[in-house]
Amino acid sequence: MKKLILLCLFCLCIGFSSLSKAEKALSIIPTTKQAVIFTFGGLQNAQTVADVLQRMDEEKLRGTFFVTERDLRENQGTIRMIKGHGQEIGIGLRPGDAPTREAVKGQLERIKTRLQKEYGVTPTVVRQMYGPSSPIIEDAAREMDLTLVGQTRNVVLTRLKDAASTDEIMNAVFKKWDLSLGRGQILYFRLDFLSDPTLIGKVMTRIHKEKVDTNTYRTFQDQPEANPRNDSAYQVLSVSDVLSDTAKRWTYPVPKDRIPEALQPGTIAYPVDRRNFSKVFLSHYIGAPQVDDKDRMYGLDQDVIRKADKSGVIKTAPERTIFLTFDDWGTDNTINQLLYVLRKHNVPATFFIITRYMPSNPNLLRAIAEEGHIIGSHTDLHAAMAFRDKKGKIVESQDPEAYAENVAEAYRKLAETVGDVKIGGRYSLSRLFRPPTLAISENGAKALFNTGYTYLVSGYESTEDYAAHSLSQLVGAIKAGIYTPQQTVRKGSIIIMHMSGTARFTPQALDIVLTQNELLREDDPRKFKVGYLTDYLVPGYDQMK
């Protein structure tokens, strides 16, 4: 099952590298706004443009249409039609094979002037319609205060010119693991390329329905159409719609000087060696009832194994306080629904992130943090510290140096994405670590402490939600972690869930549990509160006391 999760994560790698260089064309806009951006070019076929505009009106979509000099000469009626439908108009740049600075800037100025004079439009965004990117184009756009954009995905591929169905295009553009589109991602639709002039509009409608609208949390009891408080839906917007929402914009990667010293990569709170390892480990390891010398504790001294925590709870937590945690990584489809459920019930959680493919969608991690949740590490590669092979031999997944680099790289990626996020006086980034598969080894734990992690956090109840067969089964598993057999709240219990696409019942199951809890009287012994792990796992906390 974990291999399936990692396969899904591998295929999320869309590309966010351009954001590290502000002058490059944006393939994704750094924003936490719940919005996907549709952009369009190729206005030669008025029938196609009209069909797309009508569909956008019906589906309440906005987008950006790029106008070239050729369009200004030949497609004036189409431009007026686009403006009449209230859609954004940007500049479509055709730079030629060997562009010069003067030629590029001249073309931009001519298009901008004509759009202003003839259509009353002042464009603020530009797209290079073809050809390789060039510093000349980037500099010219910047000098004219224009935002240069590209795309995350190109919907019309050359080999699809004679496509006969939406399935043919959808299957080429999206793989089976592409469950959804993400915040700030830009789609580009060329409108004058396909032989069937009505096909691209149908594809746009399917993408909206199957890759954007699926991010919405919908159950029989809670749908945004009937519940105005259900704000889980993503919008389809224009480039400028998203750029103008400055409250949701951010800088990726986070500048180092914005990250507090205590959270800087390389800061080590508890350096360990062979002399002090046992003491540091025992006081900073929150274990799990099912992890012991017979299962997933490897290479540790028997006395350490015997003493190590197996409660899976935070011992200083107040009565009737529990902690919600989520492991791995996922898409906007699953994580956005979890965020809505947590927001709906005003409860926090800790998200332990596999970071290998997170940089392809950092807006999503940033959104988790900005909603006030805690971010911890689940390694870069989801490598367990150690495991038993088929012969029962204990095998380290990586040598100590490689494992140390793995977990250090994971923290660095988290820091450059959320290191400056502070909500309600509490930083979202933490130095908490969730061991993959909950397995522990001495070499792995040493590497973690010596790269800056402070607490190794397993938990009381691993719900195995990625393998749940039904909603009711998962509701029962979550409650098994919250309640004792006597139906009182298990004080300090840490519940382990997942945010991957395989954990398909998790948002609704959690919603059911939290809704039922809200209906209980305050003095009911079953009534629980949800706490922040970082409020208790602070310097001086000792799991052995």
pLDDT, one tens digit per residue, over 443-496 is 999 999 999 999 999 999 999 999 999 999 999 999 999 999 999 999 999 999
pLDDT confidence of residue 20 = 39
Residues in Cβ contact with 61 at an 8 Å cutoff, skipping those fewer than 6 apart: 38, 55, 204, 208, 236
Are 209 and 304 found together in one domain?
Answer: no
Grouping H, G, I as helix, E, B as strand and the rest as coil, residue 257 is helix
Distance CA 337, CA 233 (A): 9
The reply to whether 500 and 365 lie within a common domain is: yes
Average pLDDT, the chain: 95
The band of 15, judged by pLDDT with boundaries at 50, 70 and 90, is very low
198, 223, 248 — which closes off a domain?
A: 248
* Contact in structure between 507 and 478 (CB atoms under 8 Å): no
> pLDDT value at position 326?
99
3-state secondary structure 167-191: HHHHHHHCCCCCCCCCCCEEEEEEC
3-state helix, strand, coil in the chain (%, to 5): 40, 20, 45
Same domain, 16 and 145: yes
pLDDT value at residue 99? 86
Residue 267 lies in a domain: no
Question: What's residue 5's pLDDT?
Answer: 44
On whether both 227 and 120 belong to a single domain, the answer is yes
Tell whether 192 and 311 lie within a shared domain.
Answer: no
In which region does residue 422 sit, left (phi positive, over 0), alpha (psi from -120 to 50) or beta (all else)?
beta
User: Whole-angstrom Cα distance, residue 468 to residue 175?
Assistant: 24
Range of the domain at 146: 2-248
Residues 463, 496: Cα–Cα separation, whole Å: 6
Please name the residues in contact with 405: beta carbons below 8 A apart, sequence gap of 6 or more: none
Domain-located, residue 293: yes
What's the Cα-to-Cα distance from 399 to each of 125, 440, 472, 475, rounded to whole Å?
49, 14, 42, 39
Do 240 and 296 have their domain in common?
no
pLDDT digits (tens, 9 = 90+) for 185-239: 999 999 999 999 999 999 999 999 999 999 999 999 999 999 999 999 999 999 9
- Contact (Cβ atoms closer than 8 angstroms) between residue 492 and residue 529: no
Cβ–Cβ under 8 Å, residues 500 and 328? yes
Same domain, 85 and 18: yes
Residue 501: pLDDT over 80: yes
Last residue of a domain, one of 248, 277, 307: 248
Q: How many CB atoms sit inside 10 A of residue 343's CB?
A: 16
pLDDT bracket for residue 265 (50, 70, 90) = very high
383-426 pLDDT, tens digit per residue, is 999 999 999 899 999 999 999 999 999 999 999 999 999 999 99
In Å, what is the CA distance from 297 to each residue of 6, 305, 325? 23, 7, 22
Considering 233, 248, 263, which residue would you say is the last residue of a domain? 248
Give yes or no: residues 222 and 343 share one domain. Answer: no
Q: Is residue 428 part of a domain?
A: yes
Distance, in Å, from the CA atom of 493 to the CA atom of 356, rounded to the nearest integer, reads 29
Look at the block and give the residue holding tokens 């431009």: 79
Tokens of 280: 């540091």
Q: Which two tokens stand for residue 410?
A: 């994971």
What pLDDT is recorded for position 4?
42
pLDDT for the residue numbered 289 = 97
pLDDT surpassing 50 at residue 269? yes
CB 28 within 8 A of CB 181: no
pLDDT at residue 254 is higher than 50: yes
The one-letter code for the residue type at 457 is: V
CATH number at residue 20: 3.20.20.370
Q: 334: burial class by Cβ within 10 Å (0-12, 13-18, 19+)?
A: buried
Residue the block writes with tokens 């300090």: 492
Question: What pTM did the predictor assign?
Answer: 0.95
How long is the chain?
545
331: amino acid identity, one letter = T
Instruction: Locate 353 and state its tokens.
Output: 């992130």
CA 176 to chain centre: 18
How far apart (Å, rounded) are the C-alpha atoms in residues 332 and 107?
A: 38
Q: How many CB atoms lie within 10 A of CB 318?
A: 11
The answer as to whether 271 is a domain residue is no
> How far is C-alpha 330 from the geometric centre of its chain's CA atoms?
7
Cβ atoms within 10 Å, residue 305: 17
Encode pLDDT of 503-541 as tens digits: 999 999 999 999 999 999 999 999 999 999 999 999 999
Clarify whether residues 216 and 302 are in a common domain: no
pLDDT at 17 over 90: no
Q: Is residue 65 within 8 Å of 53, Cβ to Cβ? A: no
Tell me how far the alpha carbon of residue 494 is from its chain's centroid.
23
Q: Is residue 273 part of a domain?
A: no
Q: Tokens 């003493």 identify what position? A: 307
The answer to the question of residue 390 being in a domain is: yes
pLDDT of residue 293: 83
Output the pLDDT for position 23. 61
Answer for the pair 242, 90: CB distance below 8 angstroms, yes or no.
no
Please report whether residue 291 resides in a domain: yes
pLDDT for 356 equals 97
Tens of pLDDT along 309-364?
A: 999 999 999 999 999 999 999 999 999 999 999 999 999 999 999 999 999 999 99
Is there a single domain that holds both residue 159 and residue 302? no
Top pLDDT among 121 and 11 is at 121
Claim to verify: residue 317 and residue 447 sit in the same structural domain: yes
- Separation of alpha carbons 336 and 351, rounded Å: 13
What is the domain count for the chain? 2
SS3 state at 151: coil
Same domain, 289 and 365: yes
- In the structure encoding, which two tokens stand for residue 270, read together? 């508890």
Is 320 part of a structural domain of the chain?
Answer: yes
pLDDT of residue 6: 44
Q: Where are the beta strands (DSSP E) in 160-295?
A: 186-190, 235-237, 285-286
Backbone torsions φ then ψ of 63, nearest 5 degrees = -160, 180
